[in-house]
Each structure stands twice: as C-alpha cells, then as structure tokens.
Amino acid sequence: MEQMKVILSDSEIPRQWYNVLADLPTPLKPPLHPATGEPVKPEDLAPIFPMNLIEQEVSTDRWIDIPEPVLEKYLLWRPTPLCRARNFERLLNAPVRIYYKHEGTSPAGSHKPNTAIAQAYYNKVFGTKRISTETGAGQWGSALSMACQMFGLACRVFMVRVSYDQKPYRRIMMHTWGAECIPSPSELTEAGRMVLKQNPDSPGSLGIAISEAIEDVVSDPEARYSLGSVLNHVLLHQTIIGLEAELQMKMIGEYPDVVMGCAGGGSNFGGIALPFVRDKIYGKQVTIVGAEPTSCPTMTRGPFAYDFGDLAKKTPLLAMHTLGHDFVPAPIHAGGLRYHGMAPIISHLVREGLVEARAYNQLETFEAGINWARTEGFIPAPETDHVIAAVVDEARRAKEEGKEKVILFSWSGHGLVDLASYEAYLSGKLQPYELPEEEIERALKAIEGFPKP
Amino acid sequence: MVIRCPRLGHEVNFAYCRQEAGVYPCERVIYCWQGIFKVDDFFREKMGASAWEEFKNRVPSDKITNLLDLMEQVRSRRI
C-alpha cells in the first residue's frame, strides 16, 4: 500500500516558532512614525497591541518558545498531516512528487488559528479584556472569535458590509463562537458614522473597517487590536506550519525542490516558507514561490512573470511570458500598488531574491481547485486554489525540463463556506480574459450610480 | 462584471472596485482588472490624467505606519 500521510505525534509538535529576522542577510527597514518621521518605538504601538506581542514584533531572537497554553490549544488539530497528493500527481502526469500540508483541518478551517490562538493568549496574559479586529469574508474574524472564546476574551469583529451581506456562514461561525460581528460602516464609531452620514447605503471597505476597529480599541483601555496577516509576529506564529513540514519530510527522507504557498497578506505563505528560507540563506538549493492573483492570463497562454525591481520604484514593471502567447496586456506601471497589503518580511525576501512570486488568473485557479477536488476530494478555499494553480504550473515546467521535482505546498484552508464562489465560477459568472469593447461599454453603463463605499 | 476580490475573499463587481476607497479606486484595481479591459484608459478618462497618474505612482505605506496614522486620526477627531 502506498503511504499517503505523514503524521507527527502530539509530543513531536515543535516547541518554538522560527523568527526569520534573525537570519535576514540585510535587516528589514523599520516602519516610520507618520507624525515624526522617526522609526516607530514599541511604546507608540502600546495603545493598540499588548506589549508582549509588540516585543515579538521587534524581536530578532531566532527561536521563540511557544507557551504551553498555546500548545495545548494547537493540539486540538495540530500537528497537521503532511499528505502526498498521489491522485493529483496522476492527473498531472508529470515527474513530480507533491506533498501538501493540510491546514484545512483546524476548527475554523484554515491556517488562521495558528496566530489567532497565540494572539488571544498573549492578550489574556497582558490583561486585555476585549479584542477588536476587521474582516472581509470572515476567515480571520472567525478564527479570532474562536481563539478569544478559548481564552475567555470578548471579541468584536467589524465585517465589511458587502461581505456581511454576501457571506453569512462565517458571520454565523463568529456568533457561534460568541463574538460580536458588526457590519461596517457602523454607528458604533465616529469613523463609521461619518461614512454613513455621507452615504447611508455604503457597502463598506476594509479601510473603513480597520478605521472602526482602531477607533474602537483606542477608545477602550481594556481593548486591543489584532491583525491576522502582514505583521512580523503573525508570520512568526505561522512558522509552525513549515517547522512541522520539515520534520515530516525528514521522516520520509525527502527534501523539497520547490516550496509554495498562496500569498495574500503573506501569513500562510510565510508559515510554510520561512523555515525553508532559512535553509536557503545557509546554502540549500530550494525554490520558494508565492502564488498571487492577477487578471492577466497565465497558464493557458503562458506563464506571466514580473521583474520585482519595481518594488523599490527603481525600474519599470517588466512583464515576461515564458511560453509565448498571443495576448499580453500592456503592463501598467504601478509597481508599488501591486504589493498593497503584503507582509514587509515577504516583500523584503522578494527583493533579496530569496523568494519569487508568480501570478495566476482567477479562472485558472478555480480550474486547478476543481481538478484538485475531483482527484484528492477536499474542496480548497479559493485562496488555496492559487497555490494549486502554481503547483500545476510547476509540474508543467518539470515535464518540459524533463526533471524530477519534489513540491511542498501549504493547503491553507477548505472551501466549504466559499461554495458561492465555486458556483460563480461553474455558472460562468466570473470574468474571462479581455472582454470585447461593446461588452465593456454595456457593463460599465450598468454599474453607473452604484453606491460608493 | 464580477471578479473574486482577493482582499475581501468573495465576488465583487467593478462598481465596488472603482470607488473602494471613496473618491479613489481600490489599490489593487489595476492588477485585478487590467487583463479584462483597458482599466488605464477608463480611469484616465474618469479621474483625469494627472489624478490617475498620481494614484498609480502611490507607494502604499506599510501596515504599522497605517495603523499609527489611524490612531492619530482618532486622536485628532477628539481634540
């Protein structure tokens, strides 16, 4: 019988998180305070974060102990299995061995509780009574709601109004775990009231929801803010994924040629990738790839790659198509905006050439996700579909190169509360490539007068 | 016109993206829509060339700076 899973016992769970800041070849630039232009000091952040998490945010210690109460909660579903995707391999018919870290086994269905639990714990120790945050579709909001409940903290989630209306299930999950889930903009904050005064039908935005959450905690000395991606301490907590995967790969005598994750704010990607980034810094041959969304065609008409020099706004954005195809939209020079919302650590690693990003079109990602579901069974979250598309792409490259490859990726979450997105794809509602001119005219006319956020 | 919004995690139409930040579009609008239609031409016409160029050349502040900025805004509203 072929082995499908590599399981660590509870006692084998890693006891420390890995902090890549200790090993970066060049240090991360400190954020600057908008009022003074000086590097941000820990005390500047004290009104919104507990000091123990601020210390982690700026720490350069290589290893940070995972507190026992956090480990106890992790053990509800961790260590997560490392699975071999043999059925998907057969479908791809390429010289690859594909391993995935199944992060969809958490109670909230994604990798998000890895940091939600840690943050709730540190807030509890600090003396916080209530945590406030913002969420879109609710993956983060639901994970934090669960974590707060586990440590006896109140939780308030400002959920973008359009998401609140469209995505009821994660909202219900938040309520089930005892959190307050408030559609944003709300009457609860000055920021929300200002928006509603101008536009009572505002569908909201993440920017407005963040403003509300920050105002909420600044107004309450017993409350603190929590973020599910981007920040250093969030990526730190997620390294449990890659650290477990390293142990599991070692158990079966494998080491990945390619490590992949979907890269939104960088927490899932950082989680699987950072322990392998350390290996790469110290000389291991490993390719580390973050998969991100684009509207441009990619796999079916040729992979689409970018020059990352534009991050520092020094060189123009350069689009390259490696397989050749007939349509490459003229790249628009707005390189900085491409990285909106990306973790500084990940952006820094891209600049250092330790990590590369590849972008995939939404239709290709859903196609990959559906092929996954039809071979491996599990329905991935649409974000996870991005990395599955990247795996498909890497398998094609291996086939073209005639080279055997071991691929490891983070299967970041299940899609059982995202089925409406699959329905949109399956019913053809999602936009294909380049629309005809008359279709654009018609569509743009149809949306005139829609409410502003 | 509907696409999946990578920030929110569900489907939105272009009407949402074009005004996600009030008078400005979402900062991902180019990367989400440029493969579908000539988003550059559209915004140049709607916003005016100089405002659109200014938008495109923005470098978003990092998250910590953004959070501190929001804290300052809360404080200034109370003064």
pLDDT of residue A256: 98
Cα dist from A328 to A305, A336, A417, A435, B29, whole Å: 11, 21, 34, 14, 18
CB of A154 closer than 8 Å to CB of A130: yes
Contact B8 A136 (CB under 8 A): yes
Mean pLDDT value of segment A196-218: 95
Domains in chain A, start-ordered, CATH in brackets? 1-26+36-110+229-453 (3.40.50.1100), 129-221 (3.40.50.1100)
Minimal-distance CA residue of chain B relative to A57 = B64
Decide if A159 touches B, using CB distance below 8 A.
Answer: no
Structure tokens at B32: 């989400």
- Cβ-Cβ contacts under 8 Å, B67 against chain A: 45, 48, 210, 214, 225
**In Å, how far is B43's CA from the nearest CA of chain A?**
12
- Cβ-Cβ contacts under 8 Å, A338 against chain B: 28, 30-31
The lowest-confidence range among A32-36, A245-249, A269-273 is: A32-36
Point out the residue among B5, B35, B62 whose CB comes nearest to the CB of A296: B35
Q: Which residues of A223-258 are buried (b: 16+ CB within 10 A; e: fewer)?
A: bbbbbbbbbbbbbbbbbbbbbbbbbbbeeeebebbb
List the one residue out of A61, A54, A73 whose CA is nearest residue A10. A73
- Maximum mean pLDDT: which of A196-200, A255-259, A426-430: A255-259
- Cβ-Cβ contacts under 8 Å, B69 against chain A: 34
List the one residue out of A98, A437, A36 whose CA is nearest residue A259. A98
pLDDT of residue A296: 65
Domain boundaries, chain B: 2-78
Mean pLDDT value of segment A375-383: 97
Contact A418 B9 (CB under 8 A): yes
- pTM of the predicted protein model: 0.90
CA–CA distance, A369 with A363 (Å, rounded to integer):
10
Higher pLDDT residue, B22 or A339?
A: B22
CA–CA distance, A179 with A165 (Å, rounded to integer):
17
The lowest-confidence range among A7-16, A143-152, A214-223, A344-353 is: A344-353
CA–CA distance, A163 with A167 (Å, rounded to integer):
5
Provide the ipTM. 0.95
